[in-house]
Each structure stands twice: as C-alpha cells, then as structure tokens.
Chains A and B, each alone.
Chain A
Amino acid sequence: MPTAARTYWLTSPCRIRRKDESLVIEREAAPKVHIPITDVRDIIACAETDINTAVVSLLNRHRISVHLLSYYGDYAGSLVTSDTSTSGQTVLAQANLAQQPSASMAIARSLVDACAFNVRRVVDRQLLTAPYTTLQASIKEAETPLHLMGAEGTFRRSAWEVIDTKLPDWLQLHGRSRRPPRNAGNAFISYVNGIIYARVLSAVRLTPLHSGIAFLHSSLERQRHSLVLDLAEMFKPLFAERLLLRMASRKQLKKHHFDTGTNQAMLSEAGRKLVVQTVRDELATSVNHRSLGRPVAYDELIYLDALALTRHCLEGTRYKPFRIWW
C-alpha cells in the first residue's frame, strides 16, 4: 500500500470542508487541520461528521472512501467512491465461482474453518480443541452456507463461554448481542467489528473483486457488501476477541469507557478514543510475511487476503484464507 497516503481516523465530532485540493477538518474548540488530498487513503469517522457535496466530489476524484461508525458503536455505512478497480473478467470469474455450488461451498468451508482456527488461537487452544474438532466435522457434512453458519454459531457459543471465564464480571458477554449491545463486552466487540468491516471494505475495493458477490454470506442480503462480510470473518478475532482479552487482562478497560443502561451499552467518548487508538496501533503492527519475505502490517494482511481470493477467482490458484501463523 502507498506509504504516502494514510487512513485518517476522526474521533471527535467534526465537519469536513474543502479548500482547493485539501480537506479541512473543523472541530469545536480546536484549531482547523488542513490535509492535502494526496495524503489520504481513506477516512474512518468514529464520531458525528458533517460532509458536503464539494468534499464528496473531491474524495470521489481521488478514490477515497469514508466509513462511518455510528455513535452507538455499530458500523453505520460508507460513502464509497463510484470509481472502483473491478475488472470485468475478474468479476465474471468471481460470479461464476459463486454460482457453482461445489466451488463456492469449498470457499465458504475454508472461511469458516479459518475463522474458528483464529478464534481458538486467540481465546484458548486447549479449551477449544473439542469444539473445534466438532466444527471441522460439521464443516465436512455441511451442504449449504446455512448449515455452515449454524455450525459456526455453535462453535462461537463455546468460545463466548470460554472468553467469559477470562473476563471480569462487568465485561462478560453472556452470549453475543448486537443492535443494541446488551453489555460492555458486547459493545466493545461490536465497535471493533465495525472498524474491521470498514478496513475490509477498503481493501476489497482496491482489488478487482466485486464487493457484492459472496461465497458464505448471501449475495442477496440487505447488506450490499456481502463479500466484505465473508472476508471480515477471519480478521475479527485477530482484533475484537484478542484485544478484548488483552485489554481486560492489562486492566486497560475501565467502567468509564462505557455508557451502560439497563439493557444496553455503548462506548463512551473516552472509551471510543481508547479503542480506536488501540485498534489503529494494532493495524500498524507488522509481522514477517513468509512468502513475500518482508514485514507486513496487519492492515495489509487484509488486503493481501483479498488479493489471494482475486487470484483464486481469476487463475484457480488455491485460496487459503488468513490464519494467524505467529
């Protein structure tokens, strides 16, 4: 990925204006910030953000997307530029695979397997050995994506239980809940998953793949970018579950990082800043990539995985979804 262009994270309420070829970020009680447009790769708005047509047309011309995370900690949507990198032949090949039940089930199976592998890796290898073995058996028998999702759900439930044993009472999940998250732990997971979804969308849009043609999730879902849901599976555990456990054990998460009501919770302003900062640092962490022989940031791993899927579609090379190897 370009070294010059960066992802900009907006963590406090602001207005984005345009001044010639620059973006101007205006915040209350803070000086204006000018950002040359060539410095921006994409923008993740984690707080209330106003944007106007002049800004949108500039962003569009530079192929910059803005991802919006809602105040309540969920992914709210994206302003994606109309220009994409899709290539006709790649999209045809992708659609072709998606329509062949055996080919698309093979991809869907490997996605579910890799996701569970990663969950187990970050939660507890020992305690999740049995559920993982069960999952692998169900994956073999599954005949439809729906079966696969069911099997994944079962595995996930075991994982949530194990996670709860490692969290202080007030952060425990008691099962997964969204829209709205019922408790602090769920609010954390939803928020991080929202960020990851946004990163995967950015990555997919840099490849020639079509974000709406998926293998595991239904392409007909209300959600337009179903391929992004597919690819986000493997990366969510690397960030959401892993960081929740880590931040809890280091006692970095405090009650004041959440606004909790009777049956719902969300990150507070301070919590949002802390979480965004943590995920952002994490995305920039790098590991040595074995086949590329150079250090690669976690953020880039997402892009590389989307490229590997592109290659699978176009050239039939085997696609092995991302697994944590370190």
Chain B
Amino acid sequence: MISDEDVGGVHIKYLHHCRRQLWLYLRGIRPEHLNATVQLGEAVHDSSYPRHSPVDLGAAKLDFVDGHQWVHEVKSSSRPTDADRAQAYHYCHQLARFGNDVKGAILHYPATRRTVRLPYTPEATAQAEEDIQEVLSVATALTSPDRLPRNRCRGCSYIDYCWTE
C-alpha cells in the first residue's frame, strides 16, 4: 500500500494520536478539510510566518530549515504533544536520510508564544525508525482499529465519521 519512503509527517502525527485515524486516512478518508479547527490551523500558517516558504521534501513538509540545520515547525495548538515531538523527529530523520547534518527541531507555538527545542539524538533516530514501521503495520491491517474512548476523541477531525450513529 505505501512503502517506508512514503511515510510523512501526517502519518506519524495520526499514529500517535489514534491508529484508527491513521488507518482511515490511509484509505482516503480525509474529512479534515471540513473541519473548522483544521481551517484555523491553516489560517495560523498563512499569517504568522509569511517570510519563509515551506520546503517540500517528498512526503514530509517542513515549515523551514534555518542556516544552522535546525528544522522549524509552526503549530496551531497551544502546547506540545507526543505527536508533535514524533513528527519533529520524523522530519529530522527524513533530512538526515538525504545526507543533511541535522541538529534537531524547534517547535513554535504562536498561540502561547512558546518554542520547544528537540535535539536529534540517537534515541530520537531509533524512535523515528520504529514509527515508520508502525505506520506500515497499520497500513496493512485488514480491519479498522477500534475507536478511542469517546473523551479522547475531542477535537479530532474524524469525530463526525466515527461517532455518528
């Protein structure tokens, strides 16, 4: 279905948020463009950092890489999640694969004016590789993973799909 080179930041984010979401996403269920919170995310991108153009690296999309080999990512949420961190390591991993001497990632949270520095360590590399394999195993699963407990779905753009009865 997909190979390890196709695994991008969105896959990693969904893997950490909810495997069912990843499974659905891989099957072309993309309700996120309907979701108001996602639109808000796009608006933040458009207005907060207009000077930098995004770098397109195959499946991974970075906001920008600065001159010191740090990857920068702008987030519309207010605080870092596991998924944010995993995604950041994934981008570092992608860059490293293309021979860049990447130092790590810096996550920007304009909503709370916070930034988080994540150095790219050997442990981070191991996690990034493991995550890619996990994505592939969800991709090949024949049946959909179960829903999360309802309260953990809050804010997920798949809520309408998963919870309409």
Q: Which residues of A contact B (CB under 8 A)?
A: 1-4, 85-90, 206, 208, 289-292, 303-305, 307-308, 310-311, 314-315, 320
Contacts of A289 in B (CB 8 A): 164
Q: Are the CB atoms of A208 and B164 closer together than 8 Å?
A: no
Q: Which residue of B lies closest to A289 (CB)?
A: B164
| Set B28, B31, B164: member contacting A291, Cβ < 8 A | B164
How long is the Cα–Cα vector from A311 to B163 in the complex, in angstroms? 10
Binary interface encoding of chain B residues 21-54 relative to chain A, with 1 for a CB under 8 A from any of its CBs, else 0: 0001001111101111001000000000000000
| Set B30, B36, B143, B164: member contacting A85, Cβ < 8 A | B30
Binary interface encoding of chain B residues 63-102 relative to chain A, with 1 for a CB under 8 A from any of its CBs, else 0: 0000000000000000000000000000000000000000
Q: Give me 27 A-to-B residue pairs in the complex whose CB atoms sit less than 8 angstroms apart, sorted by A's number.
A: A2-B34, A2-B35, A3-B36, A4-B36, A85-B28, A85-B30, A87-B27, A87-B30, A88-B28, A90-B27, A90-B28, A90-B29, A206-B34, A208-B28, A208-B30, A289-B164, A291-B164, A291-B165, A292-B160, A292-B164, A303-B34, A304-B160, A304-B164, A307-B31, A307-B160, A311-B164, A314-B24
In the A-B complex, the 6 residue pairs with the closest CB atoms = A87-B28, A291-B165, A89-B27, A304-B164, A3-B36, A315-B144
Interface size class of B (residues with CB under 8 A): 10 to 19
Give A314 Cβ to nearest chain B Cβ, in Å: 6
Contacts of A307 in B (CB 8 A): 31, 160-161, 164
How long is the Cα–Cα vector from A88 to B36 in the complex, in angstroms? 26
Is residue B159 within 8 Å, beta carbon to beta carbon, of the partner chain?
A: yes
How long is the Cα–Cα vector from A305 to B165 in the complex, in angstroms? 9
Q: Which residue of B lies closest to A1 (CB)?
A: B34
Give A248 Cβ to nearest chain B Cβ, in Å: 33
How long is the Cα–Cα vector from A85 to B27 in the complex, in angstroms? 11
Given A1-B34, A3-B36, A314 contacting B27 (CB threshold 8 A): yes
Q: Are the CB atoms of A314 and B34 closer together than 8 Å?
A: no
Contacts of A320 in B (CB 8 A): 165
Q: Are the CB atoms of A292 and B163 closer together than 8 Å?
A: yes
Q: Are the CB atoms of B161 and A89 closer together than 8 Å?
A: no
Contacts of B144 in A (CB 8 A): 314-315
- Apart from A85-B30, A206-B31, list 11 A-B contacts with CB within 8 A: A89-B28, A90-B28, A208-B28, A208-B29, A292-B160, A303-B34, A304-B164, A307-B161, A311-B161, A311-B164, A314-B144
Contacts of A206 in B (CB 8 A): 31, 34
Contacts of B27 in A (CB 8 A): 87, 89-90, 314
Contacts of A305 in B (CB 8 A): 164
Contacts of A2 in B (CB 8 A): 34-36, 39
| Set B31, B39, B143, B159: member contacting A4, Cβ < 8 A | B39
How long is the Cα–Cα vector from A3 to B38 in the complex, in angstroms? 11
Contacts of A291 in B (CB 8 A): 163-165
Given A3-B36, A291-B165, A87 contacting B29 (CB threshold 8 A): yes
Give B96 Cβ to nearest chain A Cβ, in Å: 32
Q: Which residue of A lies closest to B38 (CB)?
A: A2
Give A128 Cβ to nearest chain B Cβ, in Å: 26
How long is the Cα–Cα vector from A1 to B33 in the complex, in angstroms? 9
Given A1-B34, A2-B39, A315-B144, A292 contacting B159 (CB threshold 8 A): yes
* Interface residues in B7-33 (C-beta closer than 8 Å to A): 24, 27-31, 33
How long is the Cα–Cα vector from A262 to B33 in the complex, in angstroms? 49
How long is the Cα–Cα vector from A4 to B31 in the complex, in angstroms? 16
| Set A86, A89, A308, A315: member contacting B164, Cβ < 8 A | A308
How long is the Cα–Cα vector from A127 to B104 in the complex, in angstroms? 72
Q: Which residue of A lies closest to B30 (CB)?
A: A85
Contacts of A85 in B (CB 8 A): 28, 30, 33
How long is the Cα–Cα vector from A314 to B159 in the complex, in angstroms? 16
How long is the Cα–Cα vector from A206 to B165 in the complex, in angstroms? 18
Contacts of B39 in A (CB 8 A): 2, 4
Q: Are the CB atoms of A86 and B28 closer together than 8 Å?
A: yes
Q: Are the CB atoms of B165 and A314 closer together than 8 Å?
A: no
Q: Which residue of B lies closest to A292 (CB)?
A: B163
How long is the Cα–Cα vector from A86 to B35 in the complex, in angstroms? 17
